[in-house]
A and B are shown apart, each in its own frame.
Chain A
Amino acid sequence: MDKYIEMIRIRFLMMLAYRTNYYTGILIYSINIGAYYFLWNAIYGGKSEIEGLSAIQMTTYVAVAWMARAFYFNNIDREMATEIKEGKVAVELIRPYNYLGMKTMQGLGEGIFRLFFFSMPGMVIVALIFPIEFSADAATWGLFAISIVLSFLINTQLNLLTGITTFFLYNNTGLIRAKRVLIDLFSGLLLPISFFPGWAQEIMGFLPFQGISYIPSMIFTNGFTGSEAVEGLIIQAAWVLILVIPVQVLWVIAKKQLIIQGG
């Protein structure tokens, strides 16, 4: 376990080293949220609510969705692709740890860093400028915390999946990009899922993406309360478990392929 925690710490230090990034990051995050705030205000155009969300709730939703994204988002799929292409993965495999586990921990290290040094200060600045509603209820915060951990797991598993496909495709940059675009849309980052037409909502109900952004953001904005929130967490947890299967299966096949081809 120690070595995984060490990996989180190292990533953390790496992120701290790039400081220009860090300052401009907060600024750009604020501009981002600001632009969305006005866009949504214009969309509401005086209406008090759309699909059960008030304009203020909507702004909060957008702010929180982007803040959560900073936590769950990582580039481990792209990193895996490079490592596999450059043949470094063979070295990783003979090291005494689980490669996928290590990648997950690197992602977590990055995520925790962005959460504390990027999302939180960014959120404070945004909250000072724009009307955002924070829940005073400790239970909401607790459920939200569990929920974003689960969304991190779902997103990371999907990244591992796309990363592993590098073993089978010569170049998967296109696939990685397509995945990212789909997640932005279907996870509810750009638009709450409740805004979509009924038939689209039904399809999305069968997909893991809603567990990445929609559920935690709805919990935070009190769009989901009580049993709805718990139900959301169960859906997320179920997806975490289900996704273990394809990840492990593909990984076993990939390792076999690696042995045959010698990297």
Chain B
Amino acid sequence: MFYISMFFQYVAQYMKTRLEYRADLIVEIFSDLLFQAVNLIFILVVFDHTEFLNGWSRDEIIFIYGFFLVPYALFSSFFNIWDFNERYIVKGELDRILTRPIHSLFQIILERMELESLFGAVTGLAVMFYAGSRLGLEVSWSDPLLFVVFVLGGVLVYAGIFVMIACISFWADARTSIMPMMYNIGNYGRYPVDIYNNVIRFVLTWILPFAFVGVYPAAYFLGRDEWYGYSFLTPVIGLVFFSLSVFIWNEGVKRYRGAGN
């Protein structure tokens, strides 16, 4: 309860500061849109040269991409921890965090949120509805419910992976430029994993389970019943990875060495 009320306190503050720099806000939303457009262009250009991707049609791939954008938008709104090492470890901001009576990870989430990224979810829904209507998909009563569950699962998968990477900073003096590369790998979960060989498929399913943020849950709505098992695993994998990451985080905070020296 306390955490929920804190969340809204921070959101209110965030809105106040953001509205001060409206120009920035617009540029940022624009660059987000650009980023989403580039990925869409990639798909469109590729399908100029081929009909099917391992049996998946253009609209199906676009649908998966649209689905992916929703959990991804939520993730990037709240888990802005790609510069965790520089900001909190090197500059010692974690000292301040640790002297306040709220869980440290939760505080960082609150401090670093970027709500404008939520617009990505709108784009995502629009893309899904466009592709869905071209594919003639029906919406049943349970679909919105499962959609929410799958999206939340996807967010937790993404969050879990990136929190774990941030945790590396507690043990090693690594600058986390692993982070940007990880964003790249995240993209491969948007394509049907059956196009990859077993190793990569295994990695994307069980090690860095990005496939649960794209193709697996989306396959359910596309009616690809051979993937249903994986679809329903989405929230489970999300919970497992996120809990694990929080556990590692808590262990890491014990090893925090402080800044300076």
Contact = CB atoms under 8 A, between A and B. Distances in A.
Do A and B bind?
Answer: yes
Interface of A: 18-21, 24-25, 28-29, 31-32, 34-35, 38-39, 41-45, 47, 50-51, 170-175, 177-178, 181-182, 184-185, 190-191, 195-197
A206 B172 CA distance: 46
Specify the main secondary structure of chain B where it touches its partner.
helix
A232 to B, nearest CB: 21
B41 interface: yes
Contacts of A18: 173-175
B177 interface: yes
Contact of A181 (B38, B181, B196, B199): B38
By Cβ-Cβ distance, the 3 closest A-B pairs, closest first, are A174-B27, A20-B174, A42-B195
Interface in B25-79: 27-28, 30-31, 34-35, 38, 41-42, 45-46, 48-50, 52-54
A29 to B, nearest CB: 7
Specify the main secondary structure of chain A where it touches its partner.
helix
B141 interface: no
A29 B50 CA distance: 27
Most buried by B among A25, A35, A44: A35
B182 A28 contact: yes
B181 A29 contact: yes
Interface residues of B, number: 39
Interface string B169-193: 0001111111001101100100100
B197 interface: yes
A214 B24 CA distance: 32
Contacts of A38: 195-197, 200
A191 B24 contact: no
B24 A178 contact: no
Interface string B69-113: 000000000000000000000000000000000000000000000
Interface string B201-221: 001000000000000000000
B49 A195 contact: yes
